[in-house]
């Protein structure tokens, strides 16, 4: 047995040797930068890698074992990658020293697949879903709002008129005004009240608009001026009786707050800043801030704060000063023999388009300037009288100014002389 045992082991060694030789014959020989003799053997693949980092390029060749081929048909290790500015450009092959003969991959980053979407198409792709979501959200909110309104709407069986239109078909404005002003039985249901402010419609608009568009004759000038003076005299006057009214000061009289009727006469509008005088208690209902109105039309005593706020006559005198400026605007547009001035606001040549109180105070109170009276007005009796009235409206001392009633009488006499019928 001891003699024969080496003989039995010899064939086994020969078999193992043959298997090893067979495997060596099937092995793949690759170029390897970091291996002994710069070669390596593998049962897998040869690989060449180009590393690009911070502009530095490094080439590397090595072997990949068959066990590392995952997945086997397209191993991950053979794919180029790019992460945080580090690029790995990789190529794999399966013949002896193929990675040495293989051209090195490009050192530039692998190009991204081109996209067929332009800037407009890309914006549309992004904006489309966003718009759709917004529309759906608005639709949901609208439906929820309608359901809330319907839920809170309480039917009123006691007052079926609430379900009918406020103004029935075929109702005229005249009928509507008559119904609202009737005091007979059944005119008020006692549950609610509506206050209506009804005003006439004047197609010419304000005096400011009218004078910008048209020139006027002497007759037209007197109509505009006399009707304005009559309106202001009516405001300033206290009327006692069942149909009476308190004395009222306008405090913001100007051409933009005077309307021109179809017949060429004026009516004073916009009493938002007006104050009234209670003669029984001798008091004035006025807000604490007394410097109100349009700065261009403010009287000297308003500009320099010397106006007596407890004296109602002070407010009436300030109105007279402003009316004198309105007369100046009207008279400039009076055409005599085809000659007239362009429309301008008072002090147009002395202050900017939107003057401050200080700018107006400097011109009116300190320099004591007033709008210029053209010399041509002296050749026409009507314009000469108008100029005289203006000067007497512009006195720095309010007590020296004419009253609205005095101006009305003077213009009435002038109208009679001119043969004007009002």
Cα–Cα separations (whole angstroms), residue 51 to 37, 65, 72, 286: 23, 21, 24, 89
Q: Do 89 and 83 meet the contact criterion of CB atoms below 8 Å apart?
A: no
398 shares a domain with 283: yes
212 shares a domain with 81: no
396 shares a domain with 266: yes
Q: Of residues 229 and 150, which shows the higher confidence score? A: 229
pLDDT of residue 97: 82
pLDDT of residue 415: 93
375 shares a domain with 248: yes
Q: Of residues 227 and 293, which shows the higher confidence score? A: 227
Average pLDDT over residues 277-284: 88
- In angstroms, the CA 118 to CA 120 distance is 6
Other beta carbons within 10 Å of 230: 21
pLDDT at 59 exceeding the cut of 70 = yes
Q: Is 171 inside a domain boundary?
A: no
Q: Where is 17: in which H helix or E strand?
A: helix 5-26
* pLDDT per residue as tens digits for the range 350-367: 999 999 999 999 999 999
Of 101, 128, 151, the position where a domain reaches its end is 101
Cα–Cα separations (whole angstroms), residue 201 to 206, 211, 422: 11, 18, 21
pLDDT of residue 50: 83
Q: Is 140 inside a domain boundary?
A: no
Q: Is 136 inside a domain boundary?
A: no
pLDDT at 94 exceeding the cut of 70 = yes
* pLDDT per residue as tens digits for the range 124-164: 778 888 888 899 999 998 888 887 765 555 455 445 444 55
Of 101, 126, 151, the position where a domain reaches its end is 101
- At 82, which CATH number? 2.10.60.10
Most confident range (mean pLDDT) of 172-176, 337-341, 386-390 is: 386-390
Other beta carbons within 10 Å of 29: 15
Q: Note the pTM of the prediction, 2 decimals.
A: 0.57
Q: Is 76 inside a domain boundary?
A: yes
pLDDT of residue 186: 47
Q: Of residues 287 and 144, which shows the higher confidence score? A: 144
245 shares a domain with 383: yes
pLDDT of residue 78: 85
409 shares a domain with 269: yes
Q: Is 190 inside a domain boundary?
A: no
* pLDDT per residue as tens digits for the range 207-226: 999 999 999 999 999 999 99
pLDDT above 70 coverage of the chain, percent: 77
Q: Is 202 inside a domain boundary?
A: no
What are the φ/ψ torsions at residue 82 (nearest 5 degrees)?
-145, 120
3 state SS of 282:
coil
pLDDT of residue 209: 96
pLDDT at 95 exceeding the cut of 50 = yes
Q: Where is 299: in which H helix or E strand?
A: none
How many domains in the chain? 2
Q: Is 165 inside a domain boundary?
A: no
Which structural domain range is residue 301 located in?
207-417
Of 101, 125, 141, the position where a domain reaches its end is 101
- In angstroms, the CA 329 to CA 211 distance is 8
pLDDT of residue 412: 96
pLDDT at 120 exceeding the cut of 60 = yes
* pLDDT per residue as tens digits for the range 387-407: 999 999 999 999 999 999 999
What is the residue whose two structure tokens read 């897998």?
44
Contacts of 274-278 spanning 24+ positions with Cβ under 8 A = 274/235, 274/248, 274/249, 274/250, 275/248, 275/249, 275/251, 275/312, 275/315, 276/246, 276/247, 276/248, 276/249, 277/238, 277/246, 277/247, 277/248, 277/249, 277/312, 278/246
pLDDT of residue 361: 97
Average pLDDT over residues 8-22: 60
Partners of residue 28 on adjacent β-strands: 42
Q: Do 298 and 356 meet the contact criterion of CB atoms below 8 Å apart?
A: no
What is the residue whose two structure tokens read 């006057």?
237
Q: Which of 34-38, 44-48, 381-385 has the lowest mean pLDDT?
A: 34-38
pLDDT at 35 exceeding the cut of 70 = yes
pLDDT of residue 83: 77
Q: Is 1 inside a domain boundary?
A: no
Cα–Cα separations (whole angstroms), residue 364 to 92, 291, 295: 98, 16, 11
**Averaged pLDDT of the chain:** 83
Instruction: Give the CA-trace dihedral at 121, 122, 123, 129, to 10 degrees.
Output: 100
71 shares a domain with 220: no
- At 372, which CATH number? 1.10.510.10
Reported as a pLDDT band with limits 50, 70 and 90, residue 3 is very low
pLDDT of residue 249: 96
pLDDT of residue 1: 47
Cα–Cα separations (whole angstroms), residue 380 to 220, 331, 371: 15, 11, 19
Q: Of residues 146 and 349, which shows the higher confidence score? A: 349
Catalytic site positions: 252
């Amino acid at each position: 047995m001891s003699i024969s045992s080496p003989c039995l082991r010899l064939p086994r060694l020969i078999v193992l040797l043959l298997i090893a030789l067979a495997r060596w014959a099937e092995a793949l020989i690759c170029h390897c930068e970091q291996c002994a003799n710069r070669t390596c053997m593998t049962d897998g693949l040869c690989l060449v890698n180009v590393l690009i980092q911070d502009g530095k390029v490094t080439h590397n060749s090595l072997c990949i074992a068959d066990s590392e081929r995952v997945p086997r048909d397209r191993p991950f290790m053979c794919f180029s990658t790019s992460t945080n500015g580090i690029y790995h450009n990789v190529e794999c092959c399966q013949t002896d020293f193929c990675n040495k003969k293989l051209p090195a991959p490009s050192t530039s980053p692998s190009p991204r697949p081109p996209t067929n979407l332009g800037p407009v198409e890309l914006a549309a792709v992004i904006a489309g879903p966003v718009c759709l979501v917004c529309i759906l959200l608005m639709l949901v909110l609208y439906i929820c709002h309608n359901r809330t309104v319907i839920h809170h709407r309480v039917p009123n069986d006691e007052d079926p008129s609430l379900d009918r239109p406020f103004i029935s078909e075929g109702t005229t404005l005249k009928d509507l005004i008559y119904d609202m002003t009737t005091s007979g039985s059944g005119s008020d249901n006692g549950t609610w009240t509506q206050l209506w402010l009804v005003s006439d419609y004047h197609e010419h608009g304000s005096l400011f608009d009218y004078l910008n568009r048209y020139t006027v004759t002497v007759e037209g000038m007197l109509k505009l001026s006399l009707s304005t003076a009559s309106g202001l005299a009516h405001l300033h006057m206290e009327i006692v009786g069942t149909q009476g009214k308190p004395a009222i000061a306008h405090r913001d009289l100007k051409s933009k707050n005077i309307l021109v009727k179809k017949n060429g006469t004026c009516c004073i509008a916009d009493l938002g800043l007006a104050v009234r005088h209670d003669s029984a208690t001798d008091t004035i209902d006025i807000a604490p801030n007394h410097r109100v109105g349009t700065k261009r039309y403010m009287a000297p005593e308003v500009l320099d704060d010397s106006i007596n706020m407890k004296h109602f006559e002070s407010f009436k005198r300030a109105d007279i000063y402003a009316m004198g400026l309105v007369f100046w605007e009207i008279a400039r547009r009076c055409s005599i023999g085809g000659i007239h001035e362009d429309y301008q606001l008072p002090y147009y040549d002395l202050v900017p388009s939107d003057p401050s109180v200080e700018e107006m105070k400097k011109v009116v109170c300190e320099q004591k300037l007033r709008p210029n009276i053209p010399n041509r007005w002296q050749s026409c009796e009507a314009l000469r009288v108008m100029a005289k009235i203006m000067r007497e409206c512009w006195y720095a001392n309010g007590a020296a100014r004419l009253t609205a009633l005095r101006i009305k009488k003077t213009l009435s006499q002038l109208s009679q002389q001119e043969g004007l019928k009002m």
